[in-house]
Structure formats: structure tokens, C-alpha cells
């Protein structure tokens, strides 16, 4: 069974997927046609990515410019993250708004981030393995981002900013406005 959880941002979708546990361990269907139909049959994933990071690592806020924009389907196979999406679609009712989601291997949530959103995550556990599907290939010339610490966005990160580990490229992204 897949539980659809309401979000504040138009077109962003959060799901909780069922799992089966017994004395041998557990089993989870991480993706199936039901999830595909809930996000839209027009999405065709072309690549799976995996990121392994330690506590305090912040990756983002990333996006690809047209024509290489990407939709993402994000889940955590081990650990816990704070996942943040920012609506960067000019003309959208939620343009410039952000929303934060707790995603972990325990809560089995899956987040769909459509094209037109910046995306990033912060590792809250000792380490985390983040898996995500994308519907377009990475293109270095289209890579861009927004500074995670932009005061006009006012993102409320779940750990003290002094403990955040971020690379220089992500740290030097421009502000949103």
C-alpha cells in the first residue's frame, strides 16, 4: 500500500511506502507502477543515483537549467535526512517558497521533486545512503544552484549551521533573488 501525504508546494508529492518485516529482516517495494501513476505516466526515469554522506553534510540546493531539467524521486535506504525543495518556477503560485521533509529508512518516505524545483538534503544520522531516480541525464553546462543559507528564503535547517559540511561550489552559489 502507498500512502500519499499532502505537501504545501504544487506538484511536489510525498509518499509513504509499505514494508514487510519478519524474523529474517524486511522487504520493501521501493518503486512500482502505482507510484509511477501517482506522479504521472509522462515521467520516464532514465538513471538511478546513490549518494553516501556523513552527519552534517548538506548537498544542494541544486537544479538543472532547461532543456536539461530533472524530476527526481528521492528515498533513503539507510539513515535519515532533511530534504528541502524550493519552487523556482516563475509564475507559480508557490514561487520562492520552500518545504522541508524528513525522509529516513525508518519512515520509508519517497519524495517526488518535479522539474522547476531546486533540491538539497542535509544528513541527520551518523551517515545516510540516499537513492534517487532522475528523468533526464546530468549536463554539466546546465548545472546550477541556490545558496543554502539565503536569508530571503529563510530555510530552517535541522542542525546548527556551524555543524554543516558543504563543498565550496555549493557554498558559493548565488542567492535566490
Residues carrying an active site annotation: 62, 132
All three cell numbers of 163? 555543524
Q: Are 28 and 11 in contact (CB under 8 A)?
A: no
What one-character DSSP code corresponds to residue 165? B
Decide: 93 and 140 in contact? Cβ < 8 Å.
no
Nearest to 120, CA basis, from 82, 177, 87, 156: 82
C-alpha cell at 62: 541544486
H or E element at residue 83: strand 80-87
Q: Is it true that the peptide bond before 97 is cis, omega within 30 degrees of 0?
A: no
Neighbours of 142 (CB within 10 A): 15
Cα(150)–Cα(173) distance, integer angstroms: 10
Amino acid at each position: 500500500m502507498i500512502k500519499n501525504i499532502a505537501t504545501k508546494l504544487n506538484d511536489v508529492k510525498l509518499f509513504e511506502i509499505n514494508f514487510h518485516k519478519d524474523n529474517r529482516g524486511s522487504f520493501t517495494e521501493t518503486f512500482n507502477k502505482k507510484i509511477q501513476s501517482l506522479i504521472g505516466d509522462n515521467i520516464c526515469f532514465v538513471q538511478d543515483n546513490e549518494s553516501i554522506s556523513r552527519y552534517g553534510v548538506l548537498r544542494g540546493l541544486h537544479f538543472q537549467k532547461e532543456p536539461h531539467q530533472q524530476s527526481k524521486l528521492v528515498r533513503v535506504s539507510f539513515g535519515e535526512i532533511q530534504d528541502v525543495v524550493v519552487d523556482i518556477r516563475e509564475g507559480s503560485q508557490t514561487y520562492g517558497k520552500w518545504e522541508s521533509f524528513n525522509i529516513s529508512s525508518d519512515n520509508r518516505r519517497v519524495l517526488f521533486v518535479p522539474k522547476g524545483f531546486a533540491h538539497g538534503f542535509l544528513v541527520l544520522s551518523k551517515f545516510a545512503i540516499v537513492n534517487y531516480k532522475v528523468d533526464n541525464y546530468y549536463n554539466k553546462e546546465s548545472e546550477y544552484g541556490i545558496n543554502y543559507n539565503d536569508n530571503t528564503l529563510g530555510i530552517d535547517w535541522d542542525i546548527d549551521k556551524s555543524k554543516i559540511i558543504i563543498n565550496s561550489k555549493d557554498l558559493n552559489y548565488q542567492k535566490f533573488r
